Chains A and B, each alone.
Chain A
Amino acid sequence: AQSVTQLGSHVSVSEGALVLLRCNYSSSVPPYLFWYVQYPNQGLQLLLKYTSAATLVKGINGFEAEFKKSETSFHLTKPSAHMSDAAEYFCAVSDPGGYQKVTFGTGTKLQVIP
């Protein structure tokens, strides 16, 4: 069974500062990994995905994540935070294959301070 652990339920950064949201995964098979963002009162939007190709994955809105097998990590980063990045971010994992269920982490709420 797969799982993901997100370190830090709340993260605060200043506008313009580096954003780093941490995610570690556990999987018995090579996983597919995802980051989703949820803005207040909205649904889940896919930011980026790792599906066993390039280990550095670029997503929308300037976000990227690096798959590190040795560390079982898939941390999300953005060089410079914008006010509009304030949202909840979910790391997620699935077995390989585009039809498998997705298992979500508990989420990290990102606050951006002006």
Chain B
Amino acid sequence: EPEVTQTPSHQVTQMGQEVILRCVPISNHLYFYWYRQILGQKVEFLVSFYNNEISEKSEIFDDQFSVERPDGSNFTLKIRSTKLEDSAMYFCASSDGSGYSQYFGPGTRLLVL
């Protein structure tokens, strides 16, 4: 069964450093998303992406964040200058838009020291 994959599974970085989280969505999907889950809290929407542009973004998704689909298979989330409060599990998801479901990857656990 097709699945969303994410790399790395874990990343530790120093505050102020840039990180790039990578995702490979399901191949025939057209809509892509990033969510995050701070430890002990609920999953929160960050951004959705369609047709090579951002469809919607939350208040969390400020200028420190950016997304890109650099080629036909990868979808990335970049955090330019990480803060302690960026420590969270980051989930990528994809949808074909007609299946009424988003399929989530296993997540990348980011720890900012």
Asked if B99 is an interface residue, CB under 8 A from chain A, the answer is yes
Asked if B13 is an interface residue, CB under 8 A from chain A, the answer is no
Q: Which residues of B contact A103 (CB under 8 A)?
A: 45
Interface majority SS (helix, strand, loop, mixed), chain A: strand
Q: Which residues of A contact B91 (CB under 8 A)?
A: 43-44
Contact of A32 among B41, B93, B100, B105 (CB under 8 A): B100
Give complex CA distance A33, B23 in Å.
25
Contact of B45 among A45, A90, A102 (CB under 8 A): A102
Q: How big is the B interface, by class?
A: 20 to 34
Contact of A105 among B42, B102, B103, B107 (CB under 8 A): B42
Contact assessment for A44 and B31 in the assembled complex, using a CB-CB cutoff below 8 Å: no
Contact assessment for A101 and B45 in the assembled complex, using a CB-CB cutoff below 8 Å: yes
With A43-B106, A44-B91 as contacts: A101 and B56 at CB distance below 8 Å:
yes
- Nearest residue (CB) in B for A53 is B100
Query: Chain B residues in contact with chain A, CB under 8 A?
Result: 30-31, 33, 35, 41-45, 48, 50, 55-56, 58, 91, 93, 95-107
